[in-house]
Structure 1
Amino acid sequence: MKDKESEKLPWRTALSRWEGQNLLFDDHFFEAYGDRVWDVKTSELGAAHALHIELVSRVATHPLGYNEGSEERALESVFSLFAVARELTRSAPEAPTFETIVWHVLNTFVRPFTAKWHVRAKTGELRALDSSDIFRAELVDLQRRLIALDDVLAKITESECYSVPVTGRPADAAVMREMTKPVSWKPMGEPSSVAVARPRTQDEATRLEKLKTAEAAFIKERRTFYGIGDNDWASGIALSGGGIRSATFAMGVLVSLSKRNLLTQFDYLSSVSGGGYISSFLTQLLGSPPDEKSALTLRSSDLPFKREEGESLLLQRIRHGASFLSAGPWERFAVAMAQAQGIFINVLMCVLLISILAYIQILLNYALTPDRRASVALAFIIAFFAWALVLPVSRTFGHQWLNLFNKINAWVCALLLVPPIWAGLQAANAVATLLREWLVPDETRLTGFAFVFFLIFGAVFSIAAALFIGFSRIRPLLMTGLTVVFVFLCEGFAFQVFSGLDEITALKVMISLLAVGLVLFVLFNANSTSLHHYYRTKLLQAFLLDKHAQPTLPIKLSAFSAPRAMFPIINCALNVPGSKMPEMRGRHADLFSFTPVSAGANLIGHFPIADWESKNPQLDLATAMALSGAAVSPQMGLRTSRYGSFWLTVMNIRLNLWLRRPSIGGTLRRYPNLWNLQKELLASASENGAFVNISDGGHIENLGVYELLRRRCRFIVAIDGENDSQMTFHALTNLQRLAYIDHGIVIEANLEDLRLSEKGLSRSHFRFCRIRYPAGSGDQHEQIGYMIYLKLSLTGNEGEFIRRYKFDEPAFPHHPTANQFFTEVQFEAYRALGEHVGDKMFLPAITGLADTSDVLLENWFYGLGKSFLDQSPG
């Protein structure tokens, strides 16, 4: 029914509902048309209704979910309004009210939007989600104005038509109900399937309860300092492995989080390998005993993230230390000598083992004269077949006897290897004899043999090193074959040496070698020749700084001061390729972590960090950081191979350490010796014994999220800076596997927008993931946490500096991890990319929040959840 009063009103009054800078009509409009009398002609009603139908049926007035629809189609839909309005205006020439209002809105608000985004769409910019995020934000603002236009059209027709509600997605309410449900925090974490399989004593249960209480106390003390509510849920940041590349990228992201004052709201900082460089920097700086004269906190208004007419001196010092492995001539010489010493001892151990084998062969040759060998071989065959006949009968002797016979049977069957090994040794002796006769005169036999030995050693190793680089598909087969050939040739040369000596001299040589081996066994410390010490020193000088930005002595983790720093978790790998635990099958390692409260792994249990430090005086923050980044070691968790362990040990390419366990008593050994070194050589380390082998956390889990999942963190930010040029997401998918097998935790991650396009670009830098924690003791239903997964990636719309650097360095942003010598330009490219990626997480288009200097952690995650998540079927 028509409003007769409005017909006599001026437009200024009739349209006052839609007046204002953020709506449709401003002062300029009313200056031009405000004095007109509101008088709608009958011919205008059809045109107004037709445009109303167009508006309510298009994306132009309906919310477009973050993971819904196409930006190009939305832009096309908006642009087509011009054609519709043009046709309606042409068909209704006597429609001044309709024409004026509609074209005012289209020309004032719609045309600038379409003109801007048509150009960008043609250049492919809309393919990058961080550009489409801006598009969607502007689309939301335009939709609000078009909905207001639809209200004006309703006033023109003066009929009760369908009106578009200004609401969010229907799923938003369900997503919010899900996200506000509680998630129970578990200090020290849930036991994994490995811990459950291993019997737990009452003493261990009591010890774990004390450790849980201590960890919770650290977290609560920190929350009190920053004025954070004492929630019953926890949050954490994970910094992945990847050397200086990962550290630099993570530093940029942390700067972005700091600008929003978010770092104070996270409880845990979990790191692996390269991520541990930045984590340890913050732990040393903020976890040292407090100094009231220095304002060092995680607040954006304090150092180290406070900007002082630019980047703070502390962060600048990190930048300058990016090429931390660089060294002067004398330092390089000293490292080379230390490396040579390690190689000499490792080769000496190999020579000793091979010499023992050769000497045994000499003795057997003396005992087994040619006329006896046939009889011994016949007796061997008869005995083996006799055993084969006895074994089936043993099944009637009872279960206990059957188990005994089965154990003996394994050793008897192993005797089948004796003939081929013997034949191989004889062949090696023959080859060695030919080489001796060809290369070495008889009168210089011993000297010549030594020369040939090292000549062959160098040649075989050179070939082996080359094969490490090429022939990737058949590398394991080639390397295994070369290693076996090398060992047999060495044995052949040792056999020739002993054969050239009389019995007394040969015995004296063997006794001398055994004496040297005994001395080494008693006095040699396997850790002393590891390159860990050099690596630790260089990391310490680059990243462990005091308030004056100068290198300082590392703190003991047991002396960590809780209030100002996030609770650190430094992740390593416990190498156990020789473990008999079925849970270690295929893994060869378990996750080992250092915290200010404890250290340990599920496989061996967790003990107070002070106990580890008392057994290992060298253990401090710098040691933990270097072990977490011990990427090159003979035993490398999932990547452990027998031939690799052999060559890496022989060439002393070892960044790992053996740590003494606090739980093992009654041993006289204060440090690891040749026995431990041979375990590295043969890749046979296990969880048993007084010492455990620790190396890079990336050897088992390179994202650093596992320990946060064990603690059931509700909100997690995972910064993935690993080398992944093909975007295969090894770190995340490996985490998914470990989390489900060990804890029944499911991580739901849709990674399509991170994969590479034909141009080698991703659509987005990050994704929002659900974490489904299974119902545990005392829980009736599963609990759901959330993870922001940030990936080292390019979308194509980064700043000009980053785009230029990509042009100059095609490998960017995935330079190999072996490159630990970053230039200033390289460092800034990765740091700037990290800050760029971090900033993109706060676009109002996806958070629904204003991007301010004080963002609440919960609200931020809620906003991202409403944009990314669909309603859970559960």
Structure 2
Amino acid sequence: MLSWPRPGSPSAVARYVYGGGSPDPAVVDQVRAALSTDFWFIAGYGLALAGFAWIFLLWAISAFGQLSAKYVAVAVGLTVAADLAKHALLDCAIRHHDSANLVTAAAAASIVKWCAGLLALGGFLATLGVFLRALVPWSRRLREWVSERAERWRWLGACSSALTWPWRWLRTRVREVAARSRWFQACSPGKTEIACSGRTGATWWRDLSPKPPPRRVKTDELSWGNAYYVPGAEDIRKSREGDPVQAICLSGGGVRSACIAMGVTQEFSKAPPIKLTPKIRRRFRRRAAAPKLIDAVDYVISVSGGGYTAGARLLAVHDNESPLLSQRFEEGSPEFDHFRRHSSYIADSPGELLLALTNVLKNLTASMAILFTLPAVLGSVLGYLLSRSVFSFAVMVPVPNQKLDRSPSLLCLTGHSASWYAVAAFALLAVLFTSAAMLVEFVSWKRWSEWLKLRLQSLALGSAVFAVLVLAVVAGLPALMRLCWWLGERTPGNQGGAAAAVSGLVGLNYLAAIAAMVWKDRDWLSKEATKLSSLKRLLPPGVVALILVMATLTVLLVAWLVALGCFAASVFQHATADGKENALVQMPFSSWWLPVLLLLTMLWVGSVDIASISLNPFYRYRLGQAFAVQRVKHADHWHAEAYDRNKFTWFNEFGKVPAGGPKFVFAAAATIAGKDKPAPGLNAVSYVLSHDYIGGPDLGWLKTPKLFREAPPRIKRDLTVLTAVAVSGAAFASAMGRHQKGFEKLLAISGARLGTWLPNPRFVANLAGAEKDECIDPADNKRPWPRSLPAVRGAGYYYRELLGFNYSDGRLVQVTDGGHYENLGLVEALRRRSRLIFCVDGGGDTPPLASGLADALRLAEYELGVTITFDDFPGYSLRDLTPGAGEPFKKGDPFYSLKDRLAKRTVAVGLITYPAASGLTEEERRGVLIFTKAVLCRDFPEWLLTYAASNGVFPHDPTSDQWFNEGQFAAYTEMGRIMGRQALKCVEFLTKVGKISNPTAPDLEKLCGAKGRTAEPALG
């Protein structure tokens, strides 16, 4: 196919002219010679692309990557086959003069070649990513080795060995790097281990996961049995020597829940322990102060806002005195006063509010850069390729151009029938393969026929995919460019209009993100949508939120395509200016600012960590300034001082109480999609963080101290107590578990995300299991697992959040608010087989329902086999917590208006029953749940009742309100103290009747009257 530029042609004439005229014998000979030579070129690039595709196939990890690798491999074959077909058709066209059909067929083959070639180039990009991923651990180990020996090198003198040591060092390092490489190990008879900075060379993952103990669980309860596996929990249970394991659960609910939890724990810091075993007594025997209840429990499990208080108490005891938990945050203490002064922790001044809004804008801008860099680069490349005659997709054969109403720069985008022939070829193949599959079903029902049918259906799907690809390139892309050009021509001021459009897009996203975060009734949109009678009849629950997600992604796709089309049209315009072949190169220097800016943005996007451009660092910092405090002494005066921002609260150092005390567990949630996703509507699994282990029963566990040693620096920065507090309270995320409402993708787009990406225990377990062919799924034994955790959580993780690609076997998992799994922490206490649980519910459930408790009870029954009933302790009935159940004030009383909001008490008692799968003996399978909830009662202090009468929303201020004033702080803290006192009175009452150590003791006559009603306990 011949083409030549016509620089002198007027703008109304197409830039390229193809074919035409009588064939010149000399030209025909030159074309044949060129075609013969080109066969060697085809063989060369075919082998190169095949090699890249082969590497991609071998090293693809995820299911999506493996599927993409297969399509890339097929694309390589299509590219080579189409190129050979084009050469053969051109040769025939030269021999048979005026054969328009052969020319058109050659053009169609050329179109298929370039369209498939674009996909085949994905193998090269994937191979580049594989090698970069393989170089990361090598470079990290080399950097650590250099750092360790820097001090030694400093003392090297000017001796003769100084001239030779670089070569000896280089030779040794090359050998060590080779010993760590995958290919060297595959060829060596044994494994090579090299100690480096505490690592075991290439086998750092071997001891990172704890080995689960053998357990005897019936097969029909195997799922429950697996859900109870928590490393270290059995040791704590044995330390109780048969007495119940005790736990305190602090629920989520933002600063509202934090204030309530603070009040409750202050009361628990005054009360004596329920029972001390000899081992626990030995733990505190050298302490001057006697331990209190909060010191002697086994677990403090917190979720979201409850974690604010838990983290504050944990960090407050890390000072020179190493006090007990009960000796900090007492009423009137310096640290409690600091908490009170910073209860509006996000921003309590105009300057801090401006800083918070600036952070949101910064993250939004960074997210927009990540989001639109790819279409900008891809559009620029495609626009340039379309401008070149040899790469032209839209016009491959001579056509007279009469469409003079179109922009001169877009005349080359005139379509031709060859484009549609290329699309029709793949569409025809899809139809043929589908028909063949149907025929196989018709003629046979045997096993081989099912195999053949599935293969034919796969070929049909592949053909349809390539038909869509060709259609998108030869018709969709030119149409998109024309549309964007048309819109640009009609935009006043062109560049100014484009800038206004970009600014408007960023501004709209900014306002929408702010609204999504601070709007008190964020569920309003989905609620209003479900109110429509037609939707209620047609759509099941949850579908409305899914429709909102799809609508958001659709709008985003439109914006993405517009960006691609604009950049493609712009580059095409400059490349075809005045019909000059090198018009793009001859652009003035002042016009190169956009490509340079695009290149710099690409470099930045390739190196940025998305956790650093989210709201998580800012959120963590603000939480630290309010809750991470220590008691310090200056000039004989004690006061509370916030932790320095540059001081890392590493989990292995700050995650436990130095003086001895409970184990702190920060409950978060990991978002999982795909074949291992949890039950519909749940969308998340348990992921907890503590000083010794992180993870959960679904994904597995990792040893926190060893993970800290092995993790890359950027991930290591997230293994802190403050990060655990922030992540456990990451209410805003691109995936929100059971609380999906439809606006989550907007938060991902805007960068208003509080969660982060942390190491996946299942990935580490698969890495260790693949060495011994012991993976649960045999197919995983042959997968090319990466040998390191990612150094940065790059742009790929941003797109994963946006598209919901949360694989259960990925190197990292997205970790968000624990309330997205379960908001009370009760399930985590039951998972650790606690038999005396104080559950503090500071959530904002809509009265009169206890939705948080209902979710926890349902989850415990279906995931652990645990049942909790509230009928065994009538004196502490759950219905007594219902607003309206309490005795109202008399008519005319100033508090009469509270009649429908008053409950009888704040405490209810439930009987816990564990299944055999828990591993407990028959005598140990009963426990007591002391559940206390934030509700109004008649016997509250008068000032608190006055506050409630003046604030109708109390005690259910929305979680979006994180700007508590002095009145809110005092009201919720005092309510927490009352809840704590009533819970302690309940313990005293149950202890008298023997219900703490043995909830099923046969002395119910002490608890119940003649008619089975419980004697009224004092509320306290």
User: TM-score, normalised on structure 1?
Assistant: 0.65
Q: Give the corresponding residue for 2:305.
A: 274
Give the secondary structure class of the aligned counterpart of 2:629. Answer: coil
Q: How does 1:536-547 map to 2 (within 5 A)?
A: 536-547=620-631
**Identical pairs, percent:** 24
Aligned partner of 1:313 among 334, 340, 351: 334
The question of whether the paired residues in 2 share the 8 Å contact of 1:540 and 1:554 is answered with no
Q: How does 1:16-415 map to 2 (within 5 A)?
A: 211-212=231-232, 230-261=241-272, 262-286=293-317, 288=318, 291=320, 296-298=323-325, 303-304=327-328, 311-326=332-347, 331-332=352-353, 334-355=355-376, 363=386, 365=394, 369-372=415-418, 374-376=420-422, 378-393=424-439, 397=448, 400-401=451-452, 404-405=455-456
- Which has the greater radius of gyration? 1
Please say if 1:598 is aligned against 2:704: no
C-alpha change, 1:844 and 1:266, in structure 2 (3 Å) is: closer
Cα offset for 1:652? 1.0
Q: For residues 413-470 of structure 1, give each alpha carbon's deviation from its aligned partner in whole angstroms, at most 9, with x where no partner exists.
A: 7679879989998997787566545432xxx534533433443554577579879675
SS at match of 2:903: coil
Q: Cα deviations across residues 67-90 of structure 1 (Å, max 9, x unaligned)? A: xxxxxxxxxxxxxxxxxxxxxxxx
Residue ranges of structure 2 left out of the alignment (5+ in a row): 1-211, 273-292, 387-392, 397-413, 517-521, 530-543, 577-583, 586-591, 633-639, 768-785, 872-877, 885-898, 1013-1020
Indicate yes or no: 2:747 matched with 1:652.
no
Structure 1 distance, partners of 2:608, 2:954, is 44
Q: Residue in 1 aligned with 2:716?
A: 617
Deviates more, 1:531-540 or 1:513-522: 513-522
Mapped contact 2:759–2:789 kept (Cα < 8 A)? no
The 8 Å contact of residues 638 and 700 in structure 1, kept in 2 or not, is answered as: yes
**Amino acid in structure 2 at the alignment position of 1:254:** T
How many angstroms does 1:787 deviate by? 0.7
> Which letter maps to 1:800?
E
| Rounded Cα–Cα distance in structure 2 between residues aligned with 1:860 and 1:829 | 34
The counterpart of 2:682, out of the listed 570, 587, 590, is 587
Paired residue for 1:627? 727
Report the counterpart of residue 737 of structure 1 in structure 2: 858
Distance 2:756 2:734 in 1: 11
How far did 1:690 drift?
A: 2.3
Partner of 1:135: none
Specify the alignment match of 1:799 in structure 2.
941
Which residue of 461, 466, 471 corresponds with 2:525?
471
Q: Any idea what the Cα deviations from partners look like across 1:497-554, whole Å, max 9, x if unmatched?
A: 5324436749999987885565245421122212211211222222222233322356
Q: Tell whether the 8 Å contact from 2:244 to 2:997 is kept in structure 1 after alignment.
A: no
Aligned equivalents of 1:819 and 1:727: distance in 2? 21
Amino acid at match of 2:907: F
Cα deviation, residue 707, structure 1: 1.4
Three-state SS of the structure 1 residue aligned to 2:666 is: strand
Secondary structure of the 1:633 match is coil
Contact kept in structure 1, 2:434 and 2:460, CA below 8 Å: no
Instruction: Tell me by how many angstroms 1:694 deviates.
Output: 1.4
Is the alpha carbon distance of 1:749 and 1:381 closer, same or farther for their aligned partners in structure 2, counting shifts above 3 Å? farther
1:712 aligns to 2:833 (yes or no): yes
Post-superposition shift, 1:698? 1.0
Change (3 A) 1:845 1:381: closer
**Greater CA deviation, 445-454 or 725-734?**
445-454
What value does the CA root-mean-square deviation take over the aligned residues? 4.5
Deviation at 1:480, TM superposition (A): 3.5
Change (3 A) 1:793 1:499: same
What CA distance in whole angstroms lies between the structure 1 residues aligned with 2:705 and 2:987?
48
Distance 1:819 1:195, change over 3 A: farther
CA 1:775–1:850: 2 relative to 1, 3 Å: closer
Is the contact made by 2:365 and 2:506 (CA closer than 8 Å) also made in structure 1? no
For the residues of structure 1 that align with 2:214 and 2:264, how far apart are their CA atoms? 27
CA distance in 1 between counterparts of 2:988 and 2:245 reads 24
What residue identity is the alignment partner of 2:811? A
CA distances 1:611-639 after superposition (whole Å, capped 9, x unpaired) = 23231321211111111111112222223
CA contact (8 A) 1:726 1:756 kept: yes
Q: Is the CA contact 1:629–1:696 (under 8 Å) kept in the aligned structure 2? A: yes
How far is the alpha carbon of 1:700 from its aligned partner? 1.1
Report the residue type matching 1:382 in the other structure.
L
Letter in 1 for 2:301: S
Q: Distance in 1 between matches of 2:984 and 2:834?
A: 21
The reply to whether residue 839 of structure 1 matches residue 960 of structure 2 is no
Q: Deviations for 1:784-828, whole angstroms, at most 9, x for unmatched residues?
A: 222111111113442211111112211111111121121122111
Residue type matched to 1:672 in 2? R
> 1 CA distance for matches of 2:219 and 2:630?
41
Q: Partners of 1:803 and 1:266 in 2: how far apart?
A: 33
Alpha-carbon spacing, 1:257–1:314, altered in 2? closer, same or farther (3 Å): same
Counterpart position of 1:679? 800
Equivalent pairs counted in the alignment come to: 654
CA distance in 1, matches of 2:919, 2:609: 49
Aligned mates of 2:834, 2:965 — CA distance in 1: 37
Alignment partners' CA distance in 2, 1:425 and 1:754: 63
Q: Equivalent residue of 2:248, what SS?
A: strand
**Taking CA–CA contacts closer than 8 Å with sequence separation of 6 or more, which of the two structures ends up with the larger relative contact order?**
1
C-alpha distance after superposition, 1:165-204 (max 9, x if no partner): xxxxxxxxxxxxxxxxxxxxx999999999967999xxxx
Task: Say if 1:335 and 1:325 are closer, same or farther in 2 by CA, change over 3 A.
Answer: closer
Aligned to 2:607: 523
Please say if residues 629 and 641 of structure 2, whose CA atoms lie closer than 8 Å, have aligned partners that are also in contact: yes
1:574 aligned partner: 670
Structure 2 vs 1, CA of residues 866 and 601 (structure 1 numbering), >3 Å: closer, same or farther? Answer: farther
1:487 aligns with 2:557: yes
1:9-56 Cα offsets, whole Å, 9 max, x none, are xxxxxxxxxxxxxxxxxxxxxxxxxxxxxxxxxxxxxxxxxxxxxxxx
SS at match of 2:726: helix
> Which residue among 603, 619, 624 is the counterpart of 1:535?
619
Asked whether 1:693 is paired with 2:814, we answer yes
The aligned residue for residue 812 of structure 1 is 954
Q: What TM-score do you get using the length of structure 2 for normalisation?
A: 0.57
**How many angstroms apart in 2 are the aligned matches of 1:420 and 1:837?**
66
CA contact (8 A) 1:191 1:602 kept: no
- The 1:428/1:333 distance shift into structure 2, 3 A limit, reads same
Counterpart for residue 226 of structure 1: none
